[in-house]
Structure 1
C-alpha cells in the first residue's frame, strides 16, 4: 500500500506539472497574431499523416531516417505498456493484462524487439553527434546547451530501454523460479539474452526487477516534464504543426490587406476600399508581430540542421542560419512569455526579436529560395519570419541594403526594377 501511495503521488504530481508546462507553452504561442489555418481539412490531415506520422520528408536521408523510424516507433509503441505499468502501480497488481494470453506474449515480444531498435538507434545517433561529428550538428547557434540537450535525451532513452529489458529479464527469471506474484506471462526474445548475467536467488531478482520498474516509470515521468525545455518537444508538436502547414505554393508570399487596399485605390479610382482593422505595424519587429503559427513552428523546431545544411547563403559563408532564426524566435518568445506571466500584461522591455536576437545581416543574406522550407522534416517555414522582419525594416524604418534602394526608387518612379521608363522597355527588339 505504501508503494501504491508513493506511485499515485508521483503520478499526480508529474501530470499536474506537465499540464502547467503545457499551459505555459500554449500561452506563449498565443502571443502571436491570429491567423486562419483551418481551411481544407482533408489536405491538412493528409499532410499530417504523411509528414508527421509517415515521416515522408525524413527519407531524403535514408540512413538517418531509418534509425529515426526505429527510435520513433519503438519509443511511442513501447509506451503503450505504460498503461499496464500505471494500473499495476495504482492497484498493486503485476502484469494486469497477462490474461490476454498469447496476444499478450506477442505484444511483450514485439515491445522487446522495438526496445532493441531504440537502443541501437540512440547509440548510433550518439556516435554520429560525438564521434563522427556530422557537420550540420554544429554552428554558432549550437551552444553547449543544445548539444547537451540532444545527448541527455539520447542517453535517457538508452537508460530507459536498458531498464525495460533488464526488468523483463528479471521478471522472466522469477517466473521460471516460480516466485509468488510473478505468474507465467509474456514472451522475452531479447531480454532472455540477459538471463546469464542475473543472479539466481529470488530476493536479488525481485530487487533488480523492482528497481528497474521504478527507474522506468520515474524516468518516463521526468522525461514528460523535461520536454518543454528541450528541442524534443517536436515529438508532440510535429503533429499540429504539420496539420496547420501553409498549403500555398512555396513561392507565394502573404499580402497585407491594408497595403493592398491603398494600392488598388491608387490604380483604380472607382475601387471602394474594404473595411479592415487598422494595422498597428507593418511586418514584424518582435514576437507579438508574428503569427501564432510562426511561434508554434519555433517550438516545433528539431534543431536537426537540415535547413541550414541546404541554405545557399550559409554554404557561401554568410551569417544566415535558418535553424538559428527558429531558435532565436523560440528564446525570445519564452523570455516575453515569462515576463507577461510575471507582469500580467505585455510590456516593453527595451528588447526585440530584430536586432537583439536576429541581426539585419542575417535577414538580408537570405535569397528567399525556400530550400530551408523544402528541407524541414516537419514543415517549418523560417522564410516567413525572415520576410516579416524585412518588411518591418523597409516599411517602418525605410532601412535596406544600399543595393536595394536603387531598385525601390526605380519601382517607385518607373513601375519596374530597371532604371529606364516603362515606355522604353521594348526598345531592345529594335533592329531585329
Structure 2
C-alpha cells in the first residue's frame, strides 16, 4: 500500500507541474495578436494528417525520415503500455491486461519490444550523426551549448527509457519461467528474451532488477514529460495544432495590413468608412506582442533541426541570416516576457525588444523572401512571416531601410516604377524604323 501511495503522489505531482508549465506556454503564445485560422477546417485537417501524422515533409531527407519514423512510431505506441503500468502502480496488480486480452496481449508486448529495439537503433544513429559525424546543419551561431545539450539529453533519456523497458521485460520473463509469485505468465518477449540469459539466476535479484527498471521507466516518463516544456522537443505536442493552423494561402502571397489599406482607401475616397480593425498599435512588429499568436506558436514548435537554414540562400552565401535563429530568438523572447510577467506583473516593461536585442537589422534584410525555409520545415513553420513584420516596422515606423531600398522607394514614388527613369522616357529604347 505504501508503494501505491508513493506512486499516486508522484503521478499527481508530475501531472500538476506539467499542466502548470503548459499553461505558461499557452499564455506566452496568447501574448501575440489575434489572427483567424478557423476557416477551411477540412483542408486544415488533411494538412495536419499528412504533415504531422504522416511525416510527409520528412521524406525529403530519406535517412533522417526513416530514423525519425522508428523513434516517432515506436515511442508513441510503446507509451500505450504506460496505461497498464499506471493501473498496476495504483492498484498493486501486475500485467493487468494479460488475462482479459489473452493472445492479443502477447502480440502487443511483442510489438512493443520490436518497436523499442527500433527506437534504440534510431536514437543511437541520431546521437552518432550529431556527435560523431557532426552534420553541418546541426551547427551555427545559434546552436550554443544549451541547444546541443538539449538534443543529447532527450536522445540519452530515450536510450535509458527503452533500455529500462527491455531489461524490465527480460527480468519479468525470467521470473515468469521460474513461477515466481505475483509474476503471472503474460506477454511475448522476442527481444528481451534474448537478454534474459545475461541476467542473474537468483529470484530475489531478478525481482530487484524488474522493480527497479519498472520504477525507473515510469518515473523517467514522468520526468521526460515535465522536461518537454523546457525543451525543443515540445514539438512532440505542438506539431499537430501548428500544422492544423498552417497558412493555407499560396507561398509568397503577403497580406496587406488592414490599417494601411483603410488609410489608402480613405485618401482615394473621402466618403469611405473603414470597418474596425483588430490590429496592434504598430505597423509591423518590434516585439513579440506585435506578432500573431500563430507566429509565437511557430516559435515554440521549432525542432531546431536546421533544415530551414540549410536551404536558405542567404545563409549558404555566408550572410548572417539563419531562419532557425529567427525562430529560436522569437521563442526565447516570448519566454523572457512570460517570465517577466510571472515575476513583476503584466505591466512590467524591460528595455529589450525582439528587433535589435535578439534579431539584428542585418539579419532581416539579408532575407530574399524566397520561402525556401517554409517549404523545408517538417512542421510548416513560417520564419518569413516574422521577418516581413520586422521589416514592416523598420520601414513604416522608423523609415529605416537599406540605401538601395530607399532609392527604389523614391523611384516608385516619383516615377511610378523601381527605376530612376521618368515615365515619359520609358519607350526611348525603341528604334524608329
Contact kept? 1:339, 1:346, Cα under 8 Å: no
**Is the aligned partner of 1:353 residue 2:362?**
no
C-alpha separation between the residues in 2 aligned to 1:346 and 1:235? 33
- Aligned position for 1:25: 25
Q: Which whole-Å CA distance do the structure 2 matches of 1:17 and 1:358 have between them? A: 32
Rounded to whole Å, the distance in 2 between the matches of 1:279 and 1:125 is 43
2:182 corresponds in structure 1 to 181
Q: Secondary structure at the match of 1:93?
A: coil
Look up the match of 1:13.
Answer: 13
- The residue aligned with 1:344 is 345
What is the match of residue 414 of structure 1?
A: 415
Question: TM-score, structure 1 length as denominator?
Answer: 0.98
Alignment of 1:38-53 (within 5 A): 38-53=38-53
Stretches of structure 1 lacking an aligned partner (at least 5 in a row): none
Residue equivalent to 1:90: 90
Aligned positions of 1:385-424 closer than 5 A: 385-424=386-425
- Asked whether 1:165 is paired with 2:166, we answer yes
Equivalent-residue separation in structure 2 for 1:330 and 1:66 (angstroms): 29
For structure 2, list consecutive stretches of 5 or more residues without a partner in the other structure: none
Q: Return the alpha-carbon distance in structure 2 between the equivalents of residues 278 and 153 of structure 1.
A: 39
TM superposition shift of 1:431: 3.1
Secondary structure, counterpart of 2:209 in structure 1:
helix
CA distance in 1, matches of 2:419, 2:81: 66
Q: In 2, are the aligned partners of 1:290 and 1:385 still within 8 Å (CA)?
A: yes
Partner of 2:135: 134
Whole-angstrom distance in 2 between the partners of 1:288 and 1:356: 15
Q: For residue 381 of structure 1, what is the aligned residue in structure 2?
A: 382
Query: d(CA) in 2 for partners of 1:426 and 1:90?
Result: 85
3-state secondary structure, aligned to 2:261: helix
Shift of residue 155 of structure 1? 0.4
CA contact (8 A) 2:34 2:278 kept: no
Structure 2 Cα separation of the partners of residues 34 and 279 of structure 1: 9
Structure 2 counterparts to residues 78-117 of structure 1, below 5 A: 78-99=78-99, 100-117=101-118
Structure-2 separation of matches of 1:386 and 1:369: 12
Distance 1:159 1:386, change over 3 A: same
Q: Which residue of 1 aligns with 2:314?
A: 313
Superposed displacement of residue 414, structure 1: 1.7
Q: 1:88 & 1:203 partners in 2: Cα distance?
A: 20
- Residue 65 of structure 1 corresponds to which residue in structure 2? 65
Alpha-carbon shift at residue 266 of structure 1 (Å): 3.4
Cα deviation 1:269-317 (Å, max 9, x = unaligned): 6654444357510000001000000000000000000000000000010
Q: TM-score, normalised by structure 2?
A: 0.98
Matches within 5 A, 1:215-226: 215-226=216-227
Rounded to whole Å, the distance in 1 between the matches of 2:278 and 2:423 is 35
* Distance 1:167-1:124 versus aligned 2 partners, 3 A rule: same
Residue deviations 1:150-198 (CA, integer Å, cap 9, x gap): 0010000000000000000000000000001111100000101101101
Shift of 1:411: 1.2
CA contact (8 A) 1:306 1:376 kept: yes
What whole-Å deviation, never above 9, does each CA across 1:2-39 have from its counterpart, x for those lacking one?
Answer: 11011000000000000000110010001100000010
Alpha-carbon spacing, 1:270–1:430, altered in 2? closer, same or farther (3 Å) = farther
CA contact (8 A) 2:33 2:292 kept: yes
Q: Check conservation: 2:176, 2:184, Cα contact below 8 A.
A: yes
Pairs within 5 Å for 1:229-244: 229-244=230-245
> Residue 258 of structure 1 contacts residue 279 of structure 1 at CA under 8 Å; is this kept in 2?
no
What is the rounded CA distance, in whole Å, between the counterparts of 2:432 and 2:234 in structure 1?
64
Deviation at 1:265, TM superposition (A): 3.3
Rate the CA distance shift 1:415–1:347 in 2: closer, same or farther, 3 A.
Answer: farther
Shift of residue 213, structure 1, vs aligned partner: 0.1
Secondary structure of 1:249's match? Answer: coil
Question: Hey, what's the Cα distance between the residues in 1 that align with 2:403 and 2:202?
Answer: 80
Q: Please name the residue that 1:288 is paired with.
A: 289
Paired with 2:190 and 2:430, the residues of 1 have a C-alpha distance of 78
Q: Superposition RMSD on alpha carbons, in Å?
A: 1.2
